[in-house]
Amino acid sequence: MTTGESIAIRLDDVTVRLGGLTILDRVSLTVPHGEFLAVIGPSGEGKSTLLRAIAGLLRPQSGTVEVASPPALMFQDDRLLPWRTALRNVRLPRDLGAGGGLAPGEALHLVGMDAYAGYFPGQLSGGMRARVALARALAQSGDVLLLDEPFAALDALVRERFNAELRHLHDKTGRTTVLVTHSIREAATLADRVAVLRGGRIVELLDTRQQTHTPVAATPTEAHLRALLGAGNSTRLRVEAPNRVRLGWLAPTAALLTGLGLWALGARVLNQPFLLPGPAQVWAELVKTPGEFLTFTWGTARVALLGALLGSLVGALIGYPLGKSRALERFLSPFVVAAQSTPIVVLAPLLITWFGFELVPAVLVSALSALYPVMVATIVGVREVRATDHELFSTLRAGPWQRLTRLELPAALPVMLGGLRLALSLALIGAVVWEFVSNQPGLGFAVNQARAYYNTPRQFAAIVLLILLGVALYSAVVGLERRVLRHRRG
**CA pair distance 83, 413, nearest whole angstrom:** 10
pTM for the model stands at 0.80
Cα of first residue to Cα of last residue in the chain, in angstroms, is 45
Question: Given this model, what pLDDT does residue 362 score?
Answer: 87
What topology is assigned to 289-484 in CATH?
A: MetI-like fold (1.10.3720)
Question: Given this model, what pLDDT does residue 225 score?
Answer: 46
* Alpha-carbon distances, residue 72 vs 96, 192, 261 (angstroms): 13, 20, 65
Question: Given this model, what pLDDT does residue 410 score?
Answer: 93
What topology is assigned to 7-211 in CATH?
A: Rossmann fold (3.40.50)
350-367: buried (b, 16+ CB within 10 Å) or exposed (e) per residue? ebbeeeeeeeebbbbbbb
Question: Given this model, what pLDDT does residue 2 score?
Answer: 47
Helix (H, G, I), strand (E, B) or coil at 147: strand
**CA pair distance 467, 464, nearest whole angstrom:** 5
In terms of C-beta density within 10 A (0-12 exposed, 13-18 middle, 19 or more buried), how is residue 435 classed?
buried
Sign for the CA dihedral angle at 474, 477, 483, 488 comes to negative
Question: Given this model, what pLDDT does residue 91 score?
Answer: 94
Write out the chain's pLDDT in tens, 490 residues.
Answer: 444 568 999 999 999 998 888 899 999 999 999 899 999 988 888 888 999 999 989 999 999 999 988 888 888 888 999 999 999 999 999 999 887 788 899 889 888 888 999 999 988 888 888 889 988 988 987 789 999 888 776 666 667 777 777 888 888 888 899 999 888 878 888 888 999 998 888 888 888 876 655 555 555 654 544 455 445 555 555 545 445 555 566 777 788 788 888 887 877 887 777 778 878 888 888 888 888 889 999 999 999 999 999 999 999 999 999 999 999 988 888 888 877 777 777 777 777 777 777 788 889 889 988 999 999 999 999 999 999 999 999 988 899 999 999 999 999 999 999 999 999 999 999 899 888 888 888 888 888 888 888 888 888 888 889 999 998 998 899 888 888 887 776 5
Helix (H, G, I), strand (E, B) or coil at 385: coil
Q: Longest C-alpha distance within the chain, in Å?
A: 104
Helix (H, G, I), strand (E, B) or coil at 177: strand
**Any idea where the domains of the chain sit in the sequence?**
7-211, 289-484
Question: Given this model, what pLDDT does residue 158 score?
Answer: 66
**CA pair distance 487, 490, nearest whole angstrom:** 8
Neighbours of 311 (CB within 10 A): 29
Cα 342 to its chain centre, rounded Å, is 34
Question: Given this model, what pLDDT does residue 3 score?
Answer: 47
